[in-house]
Amino acid sequence: MPARGRQAVLWGGFAFVLIVAPLVFQSGLALTALSQMGYMIIICLSYNLLLGQGGMLSFGHAVYTGLGAFCAVHALNHAGAEGLPLPVSLVPLVGGLGGAAVAAVLGWVSTRKAHVPFAMITMGVGELVFAMTPMFPGLFGGEGGISTNRVVGEPVFGITFGPQIQLYYLIATYCFACTALIFLFTATPLGRMLNAVRDNPERVAFVGCDPQTVRYIAFVIAGFFAGIGGGLFALNFELVQGSAVGGLTSASYLLYTYIGGTLLFFGPIIGAILSVLVGVLLSEFTKAWALYLGLAFMLIVMFAPGGLSAILMANLRVAASGKFCRLVKPGSALLAATPVWLAGVTSLVEMTYHRQIHAPLNPTFRHFGVLLDVSDGADWAGAAALAIVGGVLFECARRGFVRHWRMVQEEMHALGPGAGGAS
């Protein structure tokens, strides 16, 4: 399929999913989760402008999303109370401008260096901003934050943005537009220069471009999109609190963007979707979600530094080169062994957590439909046995799979760069 046609299909597919998703998942929680995915995609993409495209590891990105959110919420309050002629649909742009303005100021000091000094500066700036928010209640609303109402002004074509579904489509529009814009940016000369600065800043300087200027501009652009994401966040919850600029929020952007993958454009999209699934849904299923997240993050850093998107792309490449059938059998073995091992390990973890938290009231709980009793030694032994047996099976299957994978990769390599090659 020619590249242009493929691109059209991908973007069309993306738009289709955005439009159709709320019709498939209709509950109140699902709708708010989809809305959150929408703006998280924008935020993670903006973060990856820094991390993946520019090689700038930022520990304080929440400053820009959060301050953008505060700008948006103040603008919305003014639009409501004092009749500022600002339609609700343009409020995220106010957030974006706010984020860009803050990035213009703070970016000047942050981008003078790269790598670890940059990371440390962003961390210091993030801590400072977060610690200052309770001290200025006029701007940041103290503990309660600033709340607002997105139903202001006259309805346009009957749209008030009161119902969540209307807000979702607004977010989806912004999501599509911002994704497209960021994608276009990566293809511009400036975007390419940014990649060059990431890879070899010295050479860039020799070519005649100042790496610091490039980083600074990228920083401001990232701040703009981060602010848009923040503005949509403000519209979604109608509330912005100091935690929006905090270190934990910044850490979550880092974690999920990295897990999604920083090397490919759509990696952060996967990361954003995962962030909502884990943050909103997983924590309701298990108290051990933080442990799972930490372990998953460590495993990805160790074994798949390109993230989930890189894994996906590698598999797609194999499929495109026609060698996927070779991997079907070892892949199935791996897919069969993994749940066994995971079931055992998660049972142990869940039993440990349950014992600590709930056991006095009720020692039993359901795990994947199976009733487990933490006071029953047999259940512990069973889970441990399952984990060990599953672990052995998994390791065997994994080795087999890796062997076949390496063979396939060698063959593909021998065939030359023409073989395989998704976008």
Partner 1 sequence: MKRIRSLAAATLAATLSMGTGGAWAQAGETVRIAVIDPQSGPFANIGLNILHTLEFLAEREGGTHNPAGVKFEIVPFDNKMSGPESLNVLKAAIDQGIRYVVQGGGSGVAGALIDAINKHNERNPGKEVVYLNYAAVDPDLTNSKCSFYHFSFDANTAMKMEAMGSSIQDDKRVRKVYLLNQNYSHGQQVTRYAKEVLRRKAPHVEIVGEDLHPLGQVKDFSPYIAKIKASGADTVITGNFGPDLSLAFKAARDAGLDVAFYTYYAGAAGTPAAIGDAGLGKIRFVYPIYTNLASPEYQAVFKAFGQKFPNEAFVTSPAYNLFKALSHGMAKAKSTDPVKVARAMEGLSFRSFTGDVTMRASDHQLQQPLYMATWNKVDAKNPIDVEKTGNTWTLDRLFDSYVASTPTTCQMKRPA
Partner 2 sequence: MAFFALSLLNGISYGLLLFMLSAGLTLIMSMMGVLNFAHASFYMLGAYLAYQVSAWIGFWPALLISPLVAALLGAVFERWVLRRVHRHGHASELLVTVGLSFVMLEVVQLVWGRAPVGYRIPAELEGPLFTLFGSPFPLYRAFMMGVSILMLLAIWLLVSRTRIGLVIQAALTHPDMVQALGHDVPRVSMGVFGGGVALAALAGVVGGNAYTTEPGMAFSVGNIVFVVVVVGGMGSLGGAFVASLLIGVVTTFAVSLDQSLLHLLQAVDVPVTDAMANHALLALKISQVAPLLPYLLLVSVLIFRPKGLMGTRET
Which residues lie near partner 1 (CB under 8 A)? 27-29, 32-33, 36, 131, 134-135, 137, 142-145, 147, 149, 162-163, 233, 237-239, 241-244, 279-280, 283-284, 287, 289-290, 357, 360-361
Cβ atoms of 344 and 389 within 8 Å: the answer is yes
Q: Name residues whose C-beta falls within 8 Å of residue 414's C-beta, 6 or more positions apart in sequence.
A: none
**Identity at 187, one-letter amino acid code:** A
Q: How far is the CB of 57 from partner 2 (least distance, A)?
A: 5
The full 3-state SS of 205-223, as one line of letters, equals HHHCCCHHHHHHHHHHHHH
Q: Are strands 239-240 and 146-147 parallel, antiparallel or unpaired?
A: antiparallel
29 makes contact, choosing from partner 1, partner 2, none, with CB < 5 to 8 Å by partner type, with partner 1
Whose Cβ is closer to partner 1: residue 59's or residue 176's? 59
CA distance 353 to 288: 7
Which of 180, 298, 328, 336 touches partner 2 (CB under 8 A)? 298
Give least dist CB 147 to partner 1, A: 5
Instruction: Closer to partner 2 by CB, 183 or 365: give it.
Output: 365
Residue of 21, 84, 104, 123 that binds partner 2 (CB under 8 A): 123
Binding partner selected for residue 327 from partner 2, partner 1, none, CB under the kind-specific 5 to 8 Å limit? none
Distance CA 60, CA 107 (A): 11
Tell me how far apart the alpha carbons of residues 261 and 266 are, in angstroms, rounded to a whole number: 8
Q: How far is the CB of 349 from partner 2 (least distance, A)?
A: 9
Q: How far is CA 146 from CA 51, 224, 230, 274, 413, in A?
A: 30, 21, 14, 28, 56
**Of residues 29, 105, 132, 335, which one binds partner 2 by CB under 8 A?**
132
Residue 113 sits in the site that holds partner 2 (CB under 8 A):
yes
CA 16, 21, 24, 26 dihedral sign is negative
Residues near partner 2, by CB under 8 A: 57, 109, 112-113, 115-117, 119-121, 123-125, 127-128, 131-132, 135-139, 247, 251, 254-255, 258, 288, 290-291, 293-295, 297-298, 301-302, 305, 352-353, 356
